[in-house]
Chains A and B, each alone.
Chain A
Amino acid sequence: MTITFRSETFRDDFTFRNSLYNIKRFPFPFDRDEYMYSVNMEPHIRGKADSVFENLIDVDEHYVAEMQDRAMVLKDDPLRCQALPHMMAAQWDVLELIMEHQAQDYPEHFTLTKDGDRWRWINRPMGIDDTFTFGDPATLPHPPMEYITRQAQGDFCIVDQRDNNLWMDAGMVTTQADWSLDFDIGMNFMEWHGPVPLAHQIGVFDRALKFLLNLQQGKPTRRLNWTMTVNPRLDTSPENYHKWGPDRTTVTPENVGDKMHLRVELQSLWRLPRSNAILFVIRCYLISLNELVTVPKWGRRLPRVLKSLPPEIADYKGLTRNRPIMIDWLAKYDDGAPTSAGIHPD
C-alpha cells in the first residue's frame, strides 16, 4: 500500500492531525477500565491488517514530518543522539534491522540491495539514495545508528548486556516523554528507571530485567506505555521543559478536546545478532481527545482510567494539573455501558 505522507508540524502552529484511517489504527493502550504498572509484554508478532501491529517496524502517514522534526531537534541539540564507543557493532545491527524491515514491508517507499558488503539504500519519501560498505562507517554521512534513525519513526536506544544487567549505551532520543538520554547514557536498567514511582516496590523492574536478559534473537517482544501531552509535540524532553511546560496551563474546558493528546509508546525490544545488544524502540503515537472519542469504546474507557489513576502515577506522568478538566470533558462520552476486553475498537 502506498502511504500518503502528511505535511504537518509538531511545534509552533501544531498542524499535526490523524486521518480517519490512522485514528482507527491507533494503539489505544488500555485493555480494561483501569491502569496500573505491569510487565505487560507480549511477542512482537504481526497483528491485524490496518493496525499498527501489521508490520513490526511501522511506517505511517506522519513519517516524513516526524523525520523533519527530528532533524530540527538534532540541529538544536546534537546530544540527543549519542553512542558510547563500544557500541559500533550494535549500531550496524540496528541499521541492518531497520533497513530490512522497512524495505521488506514498504517496497514502494524503500529498497535495499546488497552486493556482498556493498549495500544500496533507497528511501523515496526522503529522497535518499546512498551506496555504502556495510561495516565501514566512513562510507556513510553519519554513524550507522544516527544515519538510519534519522529515517525511522520512534526513539531508539541500544542497550548493551553484561554483568547480568542491561546498559543504556547508545540512543537517538528526540520524541521522549520527559527523560534525558544525555543524563541516562551509561546507566544500567535499575538506574535509568530510578525515578519511576511505585513500580520498583511491586517488583516490575526485577521481573522485566530477568525477562529481557533472556530475550532471543528473532523473537522480539513489545509492550505499550502511555502518557498525555498538551499539543501534538514530539519533543517533550526535559532539556526543553522550560519551553513546553507553559503549554500545560493553556488547557481549558473549551479547548481540551483539541489540545490534550494521548501519547502512546509502542515499545519493542529486539535481540541483535552480532553485538548481543538489545534494540529498544520507543515509537510514539499521538491522538487528540477529539479524535479519540470518535471511537465509542475508547471514549467510554479513557475517563474511567483517568479517574482510577493512583495520584503518584498521575503526578509522574505530569497529569495532575489537567486531569479534572479532562475527566469533566470526557464524562459525556461515558454512558456507563460495559466495555469489551482488549484495546481494539468494537
Chain B
Amino acid sequence: MLVQGIKSRPEYKGLDIDPHAKRHLFVLEGEGAQALMDQVGAKGPDFLAKSEILYLAAGAAPKAYDVALSALAPDVFWQAPTLQPLLFRLRACLEQARMGTRLSIAGTEGFIGQIMQVAIEYGIDYHSIHTEHRGSTARRVQCVHCKGITDNVTTSPFACSHCGLPLLVRDHYSRRLGAFQGVNIDAEEPGTAPEPEEMFP
C-alpha cells in the first residue's frame, strides 16, 4: 500500500471501464496487467474489441502477463522491451487519438507518473485518466539540487544517481515532473546522513 495523505500526490482510484468510450488505450506495466484482467472479470470482455494495450513487462516478466493479455484478444496488443520505446509508441497513439478515447494506466507509481506526463503534454485533462497502482511502492525522485531524476527509489535517504548527494525523500509530489522531491539530508552537517532505510518496498 502507498502512504496515504500526501496532498500533492495524485489519487490512484483504480481502473474503471467507461462503457461510453469509443476507444480504450491501456498503458500497463508489470503487475498492472492484473488490473486490466480484473476489469475483464468484473465488467465482461466486450470493451476489448475497441481497446489498444501497450504493455511493459519490466520486473514482472517471469509471470508472462504478456501471454495472458494477448489471449484477451484486444484490437491491438503491443509489448515494449523497455520504457523508452513504450513512450515513443504512446506518443504515436496520442497523436492519432480521436475524441472519445479513454486513457487508463496501471503499474508502479513512477510508471504512472511518466505516462501521465506524456498524456498531459497532449492536452488530456489528468482528471479524466484512470489510474491504478500495482506492484512495488518504489518512488521516482527528483533531486532538488541537480534536478536529476532517480527511478525506483526504495530507501530514504538514498544517494542521488546524478550528483551523489544523500537525499531525504519528501512526501511532496509534482505531477508535472512525475516525481517526488529529494532534498539533501545532511546539508547542515555534511557526512552525518543516517543509514538508508527501506521505506518504499
Contacts and interface: CB of A to CB of B under 8 A. Distances in A.
Interface string B141-179: 010110100000000000000000100001111111100
B145 A187 contact: no
A238 to B, nearest CB: 5
Given A195-B170, A241-B144, A245-B188, A185 B176 contact: yes
Of the four ranges (under 10, 10 to 19, 20 to 34, 35 or more), the interface on chain B belongs to: 20 to 34
Interface in A161-194: 180, 182-187, 190-194
The number of chain A residues touching the other chain, given as a range, is 20 to 34
A187 B181 contact: no
Contacts, number: 66
A239 B182 CA distance: 10
B144 A191 contact: no
A239 B188 CA distance: 14
A185 B142 CA distance: 14
A116 interface: no
B3 to A, nearest CB: 13
A19 to B, nearest CB: 32
B6 interface: yes
Interface in A240-266: 240-242, 244-246, 248-249
A321 B192 CA distance: 15
Given A182-B147, A194-B6, 7 more contacts: A180-B144, A183-B144, A191-B175, A194-B173, A239-B144, A242-B145, A246-B187
12 contacts: A180-B144, A180-B181, A187-B176, A191-B8, A195-B170, A238-B145, A239-B144, A240-B145, A242-B145, A246-B187, A248-B188, A249-B188
The 7 closest A-B pairs by CB, nearest first: A245-B187, A194-B7, A194-B8, A191-B8, A186-B176, A245-B188, A242-B184
